[in-house]
């Protein structure tokens, strides 16, 4: 039986669905938080207080190797997610779960974490979740922390284990009840319940480095096999998995690991007994291999609703920030101010626009969709901003374009700057006429420009990259700060890298075994082709095919496509391009060998007439018209044998009032196009159509004057 990314086995092995993997392992950079639930602290009778175990709280093992260029001066736990520190989301989730005490185990930059939390609502007398701190330079992994926990006998009842960079609104009460029931029926057998969220392959919240395949007993939810899929072309399962007495073995590849686990006290003891266990993965694999000897089992709980994600690289950082703004993590939305910070007061308006207090927006500037602006930020005139987060007290000049930009507090952006899918850290400055291509990172107080273009994946920091090699131990606290500052003063900046007025060092892959692409992946994660957009395109195609076969109305198709748009985190620009491409490619499936311009247009014409309301629902602004035209151009460049029909196609779009004549003329007159695009514009039929439009526009203008 095959269903949405899973395979179910009945006694014998049937096969396995394969897919490319996602997500970066970050054991060194993870922050672990241990929690003790309020329900586990309640005991019957007078013995309730005497026997109550000391609660164990959060653990932050902040070895910032993944975010090293960002986290030289502060902990990863304090990275701003939609202008709120990561650790605040984790604590909010735990508090909502019923946690009353949280012990935070800190290593790297523990003083900064403690200072942040002491100023937050978590350390107020009225807080339902009391936060306590334990710091040590000896914590190098989760295993070190748990062995210390066991040595001090801090765990005597069940607890919740999550990574400190988890963002979630999951309700795990049912999972807690299942875990307790199993423990009650078979004491000390089930030691852990792992929480997963059902998420289809290709979903934007799944990353290759953290992708997994799991075999489970579908009757009891017991984990039988656990394997990460990164770099694997095929999955391997032990034959014993399908030769035992379990009737229904279910193999699942449609799960997202929320990095939330409900643990028994035996977990810490097992880490002590096995010094080679450093990570949770080590623990899970070790128990599964030695299950018959140790007698311990691991179970799982799968949720299909709500939200859970783990931020381990900048692709996930971008995805989760976008989900917060798009309200997928409700009630953890910006205007709710769950952190109870007076500086985090926002108003929410349509298209998911959030504005803080004292925000100034210049004349002609547009906040298109999914934009969060912190208090005190000033934006100049004629700016275009979408899918972006802007921190507090930022200064943005005139004619600035931000798309997928994440600006932290105090950032200065000069005039005529373009930033796409990049991160600009605290107090960094971008001078005039600078363009940042996707996946650039400017660390704190970096200055770049003027008049330069940073290529994709550029990372610039005030911290020279060779210093990281000299100081590999990033668990030690601030001992190297003065040394770092003195080295910075001695070294000059390469103006070719940062511009004539720039300040910072370009991080390059100096290791002969590492190239620039590997360095980019170490920070952003492995991306590959745009899987998310590709899957969304296939989903839209399937929706339209079903709509054609079942004669579904355009209104219902719009509802289905909108739900897909939000599910796959697709912007309006991408939406318009995908819709245009899918409809233009639709006749190709039917024509096959009879593919020529005349047959193609004959098959396309009725589709365009039937689906005109679809286009009109999404094409409303000039930029939407242009995006549709770019998609049409791209289609005919990819199918040059059909180029002679482009004039008829554009004429049909115009006659159906989908595209406006002035936008078509503007598109045709664009100069910054590829050589193939220039050749396409030399098509005689297309030129005649453009000439006809120009004459029609002139006649219309003359008529208006008369």
Assess whether 61 and 159 both reside in one domain. yes
Among 465, 493, 520, residue at a domain's last position: 520
Predicted confidence band of residue 526 (pLDDT cuts 50, 70, 90): low
Predicted confidence band of residue 68 (pLDDT cuts 50, 70, 90): low
**526-548 average pLDDT score:** 73
Whether residue 27 lies inside any domain: the answer is no
| Per-residue pLDDT at 109 | 76
Q: What is the pLDDT of residues 23-38, one digit of tens each?
A: 333 333 334 444 444 4
Name the range with the highest mean pLDDT among 147-156, 303-312, 424-433, 617-626: 424-433
pTM beyond cutoff 0.75: no
Torsion of CA 362, 368, 373, 378, to 10 degrees: -10
| Per-residue pLDDT at 299 | 95
| Per-residue pLDDT at 1 | 27
Phi, psi of 10 (to 5 degrees): -115, 95
Residue 230 has pLDDT above 70, yes or no: yes
Assess whether 587 and 454 both reside in one domain. no
Assess whether 190 and 53 both reside in one domain. yes
| Per-residue pLDDT at 52 | 45
Residue 199 has pLDDT above 70, yes or no: yes
| Per-residue pLDDT at 478 | 45
Higher pLDDT, 482 or 430: 430
**527-551 average pLDDT score:** 75
Among 280, 310, 340, residue at a domain's last position: 310
Angle at 438 between CA 382 and CA 86, to 5 degrees: 95
What is the sign of the dihedral through the CA atoms of 221, 16, 310 and 335? negative
**Number of continuous H segments (helices) and E segments (strands) in the chain:** 24, 36
Residue 52 token pair:
């109550």
- Which residue reads 């931020």 in tokens? 311
**CATH assignment at residue 170:** 3.90.550.10
**262-279 average pLDDT score:** 90
Whether residue 188 lies inside any domain: the answer is yes
Assess whether 293 and 359 both reside in one domain. no
Residue 348 has pLDDT above 60, yes or no: yes
Whether residue 555 lies inside any domain: the answer is yes
| Per-residue pLDDT at 517 | 56
| CA dist list (Å): 546 to 233, 567, 631 | 33, 19, 23
Among 281, 310, 339, residue at a domain's last position: 310
Assess whether 456 and 550 both reside in one domain. no
| Per-residue pLDDT at 69 | 54
Predicted confidence band of residue 592 (pLDDT cuts 50, 70, 90): low
Q: What is the pLDDT of residues 628-639, one digit of tens each?
A: 898 899 888 888
Q: Where are the beta strands (DSSP E) in 369-462?
A: 371-373, 378-379, 384-386, 388-390, 395-396, 401-407, 412-413, 418-424, 429-430, 435-436, 441-442, 447-448, 453-454, 459-461
Whether residue 18 lies inside any domain: the answer is no
Q: What is the pLDDT of residues 295-325, one digit of tens each?
A: 899 999 999 888 999 888 888 899 999 999 9
**CATH assignment at residue 469:** 2.160.10.10
| Per-residue pLDDT at 4 | 30
Angle at 71 between CA 106 and CA 204, to 5 degrees: 100
Whether residue 176 lies inside any domain: the answer is yes
Predicted confidence band of residue 359 (pLDDT cuts 50, 70, 90): very high
Predicted confidence band of residue 395 (pLDDT cuts 50, 70, 90): very high
Assess whether 395 and 286 both reside in one domain. no
Work out the percent of the chain whose per-residue pLDDT is above 90. 32
Assess whether 473 and 572 both reside in one domain. no
| Per-residue pLDDT at 5 | 34
| Per-residue pLDDT at 641 | 82
Whether residue 575 lies inside any domain: the answer is yes
Q: What is the pLDDT of residues 218-227, one digit of tens each?
A: 899 999 999 9
Predicted confidence band of residue 65 (pLDDT cuts 50, 70, 90): very low
Q: What is the pLDDT of residues 123-141, one digit of tens each?
A: 888 888 888 787 877 888 8
Whether residue 335 lies inside any domain: the answer is no
Residue 530 has pLDDT above 80, yes or no: no
Assess whether 488 and 539 both reside in one domain. no
Bond into 573 cis (ω within 30): no
Whether residue 317 lies inside any domain: the answer is no
Residue 354 has pLDDT above 90, yes or no: yes
Give the span between the Cα atoms of 453 and 312, in whole angstroms. 28
Residue 236 has pLDDT above 70, yes or no: yes
Q: What is the pLDDT of residues 396-412, one digit of tens each?
A: 999 999 999 999 999 99
Predicted confidence band of residue 705 (pLDDT cuts 50, 70, 90): low
Give the span between the Cα atoms of 97 and 159, in whole angstroms. 12
Please list, in sequence order, all residues whose beta carbon lies within 8 angstroms of the beta carbon of residue 42, skipping any fewer than 6 positions away: 48
| Per-residue pLDDT at 222 | 93
Assess whether 514 and 616 both reside in one domain. no
**257-281 average pLDDT score:** 90
Assess whether 596 and 696 both reside in one domain. yes
Number of domains making up the chain = 3
Residue 683 has pLDDT above 70, yes or no: yes
Point out the least confidently predicted range of 332-336, 425-429, 478-482: 478-482
| Per-residue pLDDT at 45 | 40
Q: Which long-range contacts (CB under 8 A, 24 or more apart) does 290-295 make?
A: 294/270, 295/188, 295/189
Bond into 450 cis (ω within 30): yes
Residue 64 has pLDDT above 90, yes or no: no
Assess whether 203 and 110 both reside in one domain. yes
Q: What is the pLDDT of residues 690-703, one digit of tens each?
A: 999 888 767 665 55
| Per-residue pLDDT at 15 | 30
**CATH assignment at residue 586:** 1.25.40.180
User: Domain of 239?
Assistant: 32-310
Residue 31 token pair:
């922050």
| CA dist list (Å): 284 to 156, 162, 279, 299, 415 | 21, 15, 9, 10, 53
Assess whether 63 and 109 both reside in one domain. yes
Q: What is the pLDDT of residues 541-584, one digit of tens each?
A: 888 888 888 888 898 999 988 888 877 778 777 888 888 888 99
Helix (H, G, I), strand (E, B) or coil at 471: coil
| Per-residue pLDDT at 49 | 39
Q: What is the pLDDT of residues 96-120, one digit of tens each?
A: 888 887 778 777 777 888 888 888 8
């Amino acid at each position: 039986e095959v269903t949405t990314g899973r395979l179910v086995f009945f006694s014998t092995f049937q096969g396995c669905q394969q897919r490319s993997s996602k997500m970066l392992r970050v054991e060194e950079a993870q922050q672990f938080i241990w929690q003790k639930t309020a329900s586990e602290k309640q005991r019957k009778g007078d013995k309730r207080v005497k026997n109550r175990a000391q609660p164990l709280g959060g653990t932050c093992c902040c070895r910032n190797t993944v975010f090293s260029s960002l986290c030289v001066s502060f902990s990863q736990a304090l990275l701003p997610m939609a202008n709120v520190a990561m650790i605040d989301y984790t604590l909010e989730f735990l508090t909502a779960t019923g946690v009353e005490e949280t012990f935070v185990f800190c290593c790297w930059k523990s003083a900064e974490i403690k200072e942040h939390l002491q100023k937050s609502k978590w350390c107020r007398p009225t807080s339902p979740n009391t936060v306590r701190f334990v710091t040590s330079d000896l914590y190098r992994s989760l295993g070190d922390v748990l062995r210390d926990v066991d040595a001090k006998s801090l765990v005597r009842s069940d607890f919740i284990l999550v990574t400190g960079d988890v963002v979630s609104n999951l309700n795990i009460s049912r999972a807690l009840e299942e875990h307790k029931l199993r423990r009650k029926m078979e004491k000390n057998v089930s030691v852990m319940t792992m929480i997963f969220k059902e998420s289809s392959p290709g979903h934007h919240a799944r990353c290759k480095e953290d992708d997994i395949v799991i075999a489970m007993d579908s009757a009891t939810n017991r984990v039988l096999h656990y394997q990460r899929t990164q770099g694997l072309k095929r999955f391997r399962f032990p034959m014993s998995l399908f030769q035992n007495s379990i009737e229904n073995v279910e193999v699942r590849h449609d799960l997202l690991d929320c990095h939330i686990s409900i643990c028994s006290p035996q977990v810490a003891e097992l880490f002590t007994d096995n010094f080679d266990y450093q990570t949770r993965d080590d623990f899970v694999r070790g128990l599964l291999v030695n299950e018959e000897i140790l007698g311990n089992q691991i179970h799982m709980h799968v949720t299909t609703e709500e939200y859970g994600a783990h931020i381990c690289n900048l692709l996930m950082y971008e995805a989760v920030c976008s989900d917060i703004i798009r309200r997928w993590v409700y009630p953890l939305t910006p205007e709710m101010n769950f952190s109870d910070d007076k500086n985090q007061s926002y108003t929410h308006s349509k298209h998911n626009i959030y504005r803080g207090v004292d925000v100034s927006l210049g004349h002609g500037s547009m906040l298109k969709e999914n934009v969060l602006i912190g208090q005190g930020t000033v934006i100049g005139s004629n700016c275009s901003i979408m899918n972006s987060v802007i921190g507090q007290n930022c200064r943005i000049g005139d004619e600035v374009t931000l798309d997928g930009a994440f600006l932290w507090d105090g950032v200065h952006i000069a005039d005529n700057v373009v930033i796409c899918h990049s991160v600009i850290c605290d107090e960094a400055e971008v001078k005039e006429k600078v363009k940042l291509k996707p996946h650039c990172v400017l660390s704190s107080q970096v200055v770049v420009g003027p008049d330069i273009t940073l290529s994709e994946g550029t990372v610039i920091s005030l911290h020279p990259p060779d210093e990281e090699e000299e100081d590999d131990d990033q668990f030690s606290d601030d001992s190297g700060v003065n040394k770092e500052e003195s080295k910075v003063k001695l070294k000059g900046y390469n103006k070719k890298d940062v511009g004539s007025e720039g300040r910072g060092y370009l991080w390059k892959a100096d290791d002969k075994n590492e190239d620039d692409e590997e360095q980019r992946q170490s920070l952003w994660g492995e991306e590959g082709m745009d899987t998310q957009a590709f899957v969304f395109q296939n989903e839209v195609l399937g929706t339209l095919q079903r709509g054609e076969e079942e004669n579904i109305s355009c209104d219902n198709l719009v509802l289905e496509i909108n739900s897909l748009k939000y599910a796959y985190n697709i912007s309006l620009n991408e939406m318009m391009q995908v819709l245009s491409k899918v409809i233009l490619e639709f006749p190709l499936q039917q024509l096959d060998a009879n593919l020529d311009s005349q047959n193609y247009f004959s098959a396309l014409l009725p589709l365009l007439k039937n689906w005109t309301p679809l286009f009109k629902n999404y094409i409303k602004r000039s930029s939407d018209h242009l995006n549709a035209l770019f998609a049409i151009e791209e289609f005919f460049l990819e199918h040059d044998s059909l180029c002679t029909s482009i004039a008829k196609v554009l004429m049909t779009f115009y006659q159906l009032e989908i595209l406006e004549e002035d936008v078509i003329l503007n598109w045709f007159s664009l100069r910054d196009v590829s050589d193939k695009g220039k050749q396409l514009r030399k098509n005689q039929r297309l030129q005649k159509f453009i000439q006809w439009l120009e004459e029609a526009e002139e006649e219309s203008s003359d008529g208006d004057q008369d």
